[in-house]
Amino acid sequence: MRQTTIDAIRNQEWLKITFRRKRDDNYVTRMVAPYDVFPQESGENAGKERLSGYTRAHEDYKPGVITIYLEDISGVSNIGEHFDGPHIRNLINPKRPSYINRNW
């Protein structure tokens, strides 16, 4: 799962990700343009890896930035569509350099 996500970051590929949502403990599925995998730096979850990315519109939600702990992800699949990496980076507007090396 982690390597699939890293490969998708490097290849600028959309993923279908199923994960346990923290606020209600339900499992949900989102289409995500993955941007980075990084360790939580502080708090009770310090050291746990997180995925940051950009999700497409779904249900009653607009597209937007999404962050998911890897341990909450139950399924990842590549949907075979590419995204524009620099555009996604601009939408996310990261505050620090990425952990995952990529050429975009």
Domain range annotation of the chain: 2-92
Hey, CA dihedral for 103, 19, 66, 31, is it positive or negative? positive
The per-residue pLDDT for range 17-38, each reduced to its tens digit, is 999 998 899 999 999 999 999 9
pTM higher than the cut 0.85: yes
Tell me the HSE value of 68 on the side-chain side, using a 13 A CA sphere.
30
| Pairwise pLDDT comparison (44 vs 3), residue with the higher score | 3
Tell me the percentage of the chain whose pLDDT exceeds 90.
83
CA distance 58 to 18: 13
The per-residue pLDDT for range 46-69, each reduced to its tens digit, is 889 999 999 998 777 889 999 999
CATH of domain 2-92: 2.30.30
Q: What are the two backbone dihedrals, phi and then psi, of residue 4, each rounded to the nearest 5 degrees?
A: -60, -40
- List, in order, residues 6 or more apart from 12 with CB less than 8 Å away: 33, 82, 83, 84, 85, 88, 104
CA distance 84 to 93: 14
User: Starting from the edge strand earliest in sequence, which strands make up the sheet with 13-20, in order?
Assistant: 64-69, 49-55, 27-39, 13-20, 73-82
